[in-house]
Amino acid sequence: MACLEGNGDFRSPECVELLDEADIVVTNPPFSLFREYIAQLMEHDKKFVVIGNQNAVTYKEVFPLIKENRIWLGCYSGNMEFR
């Protein structure tokens, strides 16, 4: 298990290095950084599961990825809960 030496920002060299080692990423990114984090995951060609707000599908950076079948929506239960 790696201990972070920096502030844990996903954009830091330390975290990018950990990202490069990962096979799959499971995350709930901050709403304000959602687009930037998805872009980073795509840039690094990572498999990922993101728990996020359904409004993200309307983002101009996200919708094309759905349309191009590069990312998929999971089960939407109508409220933010696991089943």
The tens digit of pLDDT for each residue in 35-81 reads 999 999 999 999 999 888 888 888 999 999 989 999 988 776 555 55
Q: Give the single-character DSSP code of 61.
A: T
> What pLDDT is stored for residue 56 in this prediction?
86
> What pLDDT is stored for residue 2 in this prediction?
63
Q: Which residue has the higher pLDDT, 74 or 21?
A: 21
| Cα→Cα distances 76→19, 47, 55, 57, Å | 27, 20, 12, 12
Q: Which residue has the higher pLDDT, 5 or 79?
A: 5
Q: Which helix (H) or strand (E) holds 51?
A: none
Under 8 Å between Cβ of 45 and 51: no
Question: Around 6, how many Cα atoms within 13 Å sit in the side-chain half-sphere?
Answer: 11
Residue position matching structure tokens 């929506």: 73
Name the pTM for this structure: 0.81
Q: Domains of the chain: which residue ranges?
A: 23-83
> What pLDDT is stored for residue 54 in this prediction?
81
